[in-house]
Amino acid sequence: MAPVFALAMPEDIERIVELRNATGEKLTREFGHGHWSHLVKRETVASNLEKSRIYVLRERGRIVGTLRLQLKKPSEYDRGWFTWARRPVFLYDMAVDPARQRRGLGRTCIEGAIRAARAWPADALRLDAYDHPAGAGPFYEKCGFRETSRRVFFRAPIIYYEMMLALET
């Protein structure tokens, strides 16, 4: 049975918190303490569910991936770092269950995010990744994103990416 990418529901909050924390803990074990090491709280995910669109990837009914899409530009992003777009969407908080990584689920999440962004409708999908071995930059590049800028934000080196989207007619 193929994984299913869909909007998260309030009853998914606990599993999303668990999944994001497990992902952060795995990165901390592999790469040491960093910005990825903070624990996500239930209240944060609940607030994000109200302000943005959180998606989950279910495999046999269990949530194995998640990400969040939002129209609001992150305050640290400068429009000049990106290609002009009328309506960009920003991707945040992507996580795949550490026990299920390297099996194509991350790519499935990105494909779902692209479909969701086009349906919004958006003409660009933007995100950032740590410029560090713990960062997912090479993964995003394999998924078709292109690097647009590099900056240091709160002492963390960041790479900014975008994917221009052809709107479906």
Higher pLDDT, 35 or 54: 54
Specify the DSSP class assigned to residue 37: G
pLDDT given at position 76: 74
Tally Cβ neighbours within 10 Å of residue 125: 25
For residues 15-29, average pLDDT: 97
Per-residue pLDDT reduced to its tens digit, 45-55: 999 999 999 99
Give me the mean pLDDT over the 51-60 stretch. Answer: 97
Q: Are 88 and 73 in contact (CB under 8 A)?
A: yes
| Backbone angles phi and psi of 130, in degrees to 5 | -65, 135
Fold (CATH) for 4-164: Aminopeptidase (3.40.630)
Give the closest residue to 133 by CA, choosing from 15, 31, 17: 31
Domain ranges of the chain: 4-164
Going by pLDDT thresholds of 50, 70 and 90, the confidence category of residue 167 is low
At 114-153, the pLDDT tens digits run 999 999 999 999 999 999 999 899 999 999 999 999 988 7
Whether residue 112 is predicted with pLDDT greater than 60 in this model: the reply is: yes
Mean pLDDT of the region 27-47: 94
Give strand ranges (E) for the chain: 4-7, 53-59, 62-70, 88-96, 124-130, 146-153, 156-164
pLDDT the model gives residue 79:
84
